[in-house]
């Protein structure tokens, strides 16, 4: 079974530029998550999708971050414009469903973003 795919693996941009990350979840997984992992910290949830709908984006900085999952499969996370503090690893994860008792989240390798 193929895992969660993410691209690119690395990205370096100047501040105020735009960047987009792509994620393809495990086939059949209805729930998709984007996390931000700043160096020295644990991953923090940015946004959670159930199929193609957003179920939690409370920690997404909506003035500069956006995400979509138009067909309920793959997803794109965009930052526009980027700031220095956006330098982090962006992890995508997926799970079968989001309801209790709980379903394991499977993580992709992440995209390491450096903003200069």
Q: Which residues bind other proteins (CB under 8 A)?
A: 3-4, 31, 40-45, 48, 55-56, 91, 93, 95, 97-105, 107-110
Residue 79 CB, shortest distance to other proteins, in Å, is: 20
Measured from the CB atom, the residue of 93 and 115 that comes closer to other proteins is 93
- Rounded Cα distance, 4 and 24, in Å: 6
Cα–Cα distance measured from residue 24 to residue 69, given in angstroms and rounded to the nearest whole number: 10
Question: Tokens 């503090």 map to which residue?
Answer: 85
3-state helix, strand, coil in the chain (%, to 5): 5, 45, 50
Nearer to other proteins, 14 or 100 (CB): 100
The nearer residue to other proteins, 21 or 110, going by C-beta atoms, is 110
């Amino acid at each position: 079974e193929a895992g969660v795919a993410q691209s690119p693996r690395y990205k370096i941009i100047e501040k105020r530029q735009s960047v987009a990350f792509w994620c393809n979840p495990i086939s059949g997984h209805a729930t998709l998550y984007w996390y931000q992992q700043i160096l020295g910290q644990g991953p923090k949830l940015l946004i959670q999708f159930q199929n193609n709908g957003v179920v939690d984006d409370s920690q997404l900085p909506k003035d500069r971050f956006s995400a979509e999952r138009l067909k309920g499969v793959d997803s794109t996370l965009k930052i526009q414009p980027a700031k220095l503090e956006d330098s982090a690893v962006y992890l995508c994860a997926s799970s079968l469903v989001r309801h209790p008792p709980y379903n394991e989240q499977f993580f992709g390798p992440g995209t390491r973003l450096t903003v200069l």
